[in-house]
Amino acid sequence: MSEPIPALLLTFTNVTKSYSGRTVLNIPSLIIQPGIHYFQGGNGSGKTTLFRTCAGLLPFAGQILLDNQYEISRDPVAYRLRVNYAEAEPLYPGFLTPRDLTYFVGETKRAPDGQIDELSEVFGVDQFWTAPTSTFSSGMLKKLALLLAFLGRPRVILLDEPLTTLDRATAGRLFDLIRRYRAEQNVTFLLTSHQDVTLSGLPLTGVWQVGGGSISAVG
Ligand SMILES: Nc1ncnc2c1ncn2[C@@H]1O[C@H](COP(=O)(O)OP(=O)(O)OP(=O)(O)O)[C@@H](O)[C@H]1O
């Protein structure tokens, strides 16, 4: 009996992204299947640009389609409800607290009952729940950004440098959570890291090299 063909998840067609006329990404065709994908590349190779484009935060040319159905510019709300993103270097208005941000994002992402309490404990954000983010260390900001990226019922979570500044215990809990959301909720993860994620024990579906504007499969 032949193997079932996995569902298409994200399809990029003729995607180009330029800053002031300088092309940083040029992706004629790329298909990301469900799973956990690791994007490698040197400084300035285009990983953050790829993730921000995929998250719908940057204008670009071409088409990115989710589940053969949702296109960023045609279905902005439906697409953004399903694609979550944690910035490499998160910054928030300094007067806001994790409680403010989490309830706001949780409402827009339609977080199920109990999810906010659970995630705030997993990431230890409950320990500085009502403190203004202006007082946070970079690791505390990172924990908050990761919490926000798991809210709702996403199909895809993009994590840009999730390990930077994260303490070792929280990194372990993050990997456990990734495994659980993958297994129980069929969430697909796209990760970047300058640390070697292949050593994390995560079951990687794909490893990709970003460089020279293009993206190629490794191995
Ligand atoms: N807002 C911007 N305006 C102009 N150029 C930009 C902008 N953001 C990024 N770039 C350029 O785009 C290229 C890719 O940057 P990007 O941040 O995507 O790389 P990266 O792979 O995430 O790098 P790093 O590993 O250092 O975080 C770089 O040459 C950078 O200078």
Which amino acids bring their CB within 6 angstroms of ligand 1? 19, 24, 41, 43-49, 88
Kindly tell me if the per-residue pLDDT of 219 is higher than 80. Answer: no
At 216, list the tokens.
Answer: 């190629």
Beta bridge partners of 13: 29, 63
Measured CA angle at 49 (ends 45, 50), to 5 deg: 90
- Residue-level pLDDT at 6: 52
Residue 198 exposed, middle or buried by CB count within 10 Å (0-12, 13-18, 19+) = middle
Kindly tell me if the per-residue pLDDT of 7 is higher than 90. Answer: no
User: Best mutation site among 15, 17, 19 for ligand 1, i.e. most ligand atoms within 8 A of its Cβ?
Assistant: 19
**Secondary structure class of 59 (helix, strand, coil):** coil
Ligand 1 atom nearest to 88, measured from its CA: 27
DSSP 35: S
Ligand 1: which residue has its CA nearest to atom 26? Answer: 43
pLDDT in tens, 132-146: 999 999 999 999 999
Ligand 1 atom nearest to 52, measured from its CA: 18
Residue 53 parent element (H or E): helix 47-54
- The domains located in the chain, with CATH, are 10-217 (3.40.50.300)
Task: Please compute the mean of the pLDDT values over residues 115-129 and round it to a whole number.
Answer: 97
Mean pLDDT of the chain: 94
Q: How many whole angstroms from 50 Cα to the centroid of ligand 1?
A: 10
- Residue-level pLDDT at 197: 83
- Residue-level pLDDT at 137: 97
Ligand 1 atom nearest to 50, measured from its CA: 18
DSSP 201: T
Q: How many whole angstroms from 215 Cα to the centroid of ligand 1?
A: 15
| Sign of torsion over alpha carbons 138, 140, 141, 145 | positive
From CA 101, how far away is CA 60, in angstroms rounded?
A: 28
From CA 109, how far away is CA 127, in angstroms rounded?
A: 23
Higher per-residue confidence, 68 vs 4 = 68
- Residue-level pLDDT at 196: 86
Q: How many whole angstroms from 19 Cα to the centroid of ligand 1?
A: 9
Kindly tell me if the per-residue pLDDT of 108 is higher than 80. Answer: yes
- 160 neighbors 192 (Cβ within 8 angstroms): yes
- 38 neighbors 191 (Cβ within 8 angstroms): yes
**4 band by pLDDT with thresholds 50, 70 and 90:** low
Phi, psi of 149 (to 5 degrees): -70, -15
Beta bridge partners of 26: 16
Kindly tell me if the per-residue pLDDT of 5 is higher than 80. Answer: no
pLDDT in tens, 40-54: 999 999 999 999 999
